[in-house]
Structure 1
Amino acid sequence: MYEHGVGWITATPELVTAVRTAKQFLTYVASGPFQYAIAEGLALPPAYFASLREELRAKRDLLAAGLEDAGFKVYRPAGTYFITTDITPLGAQDGVDFCLQLPERAGVVAIPTSVFYDDKEAGRSLVRFAFCKKESVLHEAVERLGRL
C-alpha cells in the first residue's frame, strides 16, 4: 500500500523526473484503491442499478411520509440517500440542539445540516435523516418519530 510521506532524492535529472512523475500520480489520485471497486461496479448489469434505484426510492418514500406525518417539513431528494427536513413546524429552531436530544427523545439520530454550512444560521433549522437502512429500521424510526 502507498503511504503519504515526505522524502528527498538525489539522483540524475532523468531519475528525479521519473520519481517526480510517479509521486504526482500517487499524490493526486488519493482514491486510487477505489478505482478497482468502481470498475467492478460499472461491470454490473443495468438491472442491478434499476433494482437499487427502486429499492432506495421506496425507502425514501417510506421515511419521507413518516417524517411528514410526524410534522417535519420534508424536502424530498432526487439523488441522495439523505432526506433534509425543517424542524420549525415541530416548534424547534436549532438543529444541533434538536439532534442532540433526538436519541433520548425518540431513539433515532439525525444530522444537523448547519455543520455543512459556512453560514451556520442558513441551515440552523434543517436536519437530515439517512434512508439507506433496512426497511424494518425505517419502519421503527417512523413509529418512534411519530411519537415526538
Structure 2
Amino acid sequence: MSESVQMYLVTIARLRQGDQPVPLSLLAEALAVSPVSVNEMCRKLQDQGLLIYTPYKGVVLTNKGETRACYILRRHRLWEVFLFDKLGIAFDQAHDIACQLEHATPNELADQLDLYLNYPPVNPLGEPIPRCDVQPPAAPTVALA
C-alpha cells in the first residue's frame, strides 16, 4: 500500500466525528491537496474497498479501511513512545520521525516494538495506542502458597 493511500486512511480516521462522513473539503485541507485530487483518490480507495464515498456528503472507512488505518496509527504512536521515551528525542521531532517510520514498519516489527516498550497504552501526549486485533499477553499468575 502506498504512503499516499496510508495517509488518506489515517487522516480520515483522525478527522471523523462518530459515524458521520468526512467532507472531502476537510480532507483536502488536512492533506494540503486539491479537492479534485481528493475526489479522484477517494474514488480509487472506494474501488479498493477501503472507504465508501457519498457525493456531496463525504467518506467513511469500511471495516477493511478501518483496520488498515488502525495499524498505521498503532505503528506511528509506538514509534513516538520509543523515540521520546527511549531515545530522549523531543516530541515534535519524534512525531515527525514517526510519520516517516510508520510507512516502512511491518506489523511484525511493530509487535516486537510493542513488546520491547512493555505494551504502552498511550503515546507521550496521552493519545491511546490502538490495539487493533493485537492483544498483549496476559500477565503471568503467581500461585500463593
TM > 0.5: no
TM-score in terms of structure 2 length = 0.32
TM-score in terms of structure 1 length = 0.31
Q: Return the structure number with greater strand share.
A: 1
Q: Which has the larger radius of gyration?
A: 1
